[in-house]
Amino acid sequence: MVEQQIEAAGKDKPDFLSLKAELLADDGRADEALAVLDAAVTAHPGNPSLLNSRCWLKATHKLALDTALKDCTRAIELSNSPANALDSRAMVYFRLGRTEEALGDLNAALDTDPDLAAALYMRGVVRKAAGQAGSEADLAGARMMSPRIDAEYGKWGIKP
C-alpha cells in the first residue's frame, strides 16, 4: 500500500518514503530502510524531514553515527521547527556517549516544544544515567503523554 502511495504522491512523496523506511526498519530491515532514505535524500536534498528521518534511523539502529550528526545538523538548519531534529541529534549524541551535548539538544527541543514526549523521555534516560536530578519527573511526564514510550524505546535497547 505504501508503494502505491509513493507512486501516486506529489509533494507528499518524501513523507511516504519516510513511512516506507520506518516500516522496513520496524521489520528488522534497517539496511533497506537506510537505502530508501539515501535515495530519497538524493532526490530531495533540501528536505529537512527526510534528513531527520535518516538521522533518526541511524541513531536508533546504531548505523553510521558519524554521518547521522551531519544529517541532523542539516535538518536543524533547514527546519522552521527544529524540535524533532534536535531530539534526533540528541539520540546520536546519546549513542556516542556525549551526554552533555545530548542534554543540550534535548533541552533545546523541549524549549521549542514542551510536549515532545520523545525528548522528555530521552532527557529522563540521560539524566538517570548521569545521576542527575529530575530524571524521574521527566520519565513520568513522558509516560503520561505517551503510555507506550518504554516499549517503543525498549525495542532499540534504550531503558531508563
Q: Which residues contact 61 (CB under 8 A, 6 or more apart)?
A: 25, 30, 156
Least Cα distance to 34 among 62, 54, 16 occurs for 54
Q: Kindly give, in sequence order, each residue whose CB lies less than 8 Å from that of residue 75, ignoring residues fewer than 6 positions away.
A: 48, 49, 51, 52, 55, 82, 85, 88
Number of H helices, E strands in the chain: 10, 0
- Architecture of the domain made up of 2-154: Alpha Horseshoe (1.25)
pLDDT tens, 51-75?
A: 999 999 999 999 999 999 999 999 9
- Residue 72 CB contacts under 8 Å (≥ 6 apart), including other chains: 51, 52, 55, 59, 85, 86, 88, 89, 92
Count Cβ neighbours within 10 Å for each residue of 136-149 and write b for 16 or more, e otherwise. Answer: eebbebbbeebeeb
pLDDT tens by residue, 76-124: 999 999 999 999 999 999 999 999 999 999 999 999 999 999 999 999 9
| Residue 1: partners with Cβ closer than 8 Å, 6 or more residues away | none
Distance (Å, whole) CA 36 – CA 16: 11
- 6: confidence class by pLDDT, cuts 50, 70, 90: low
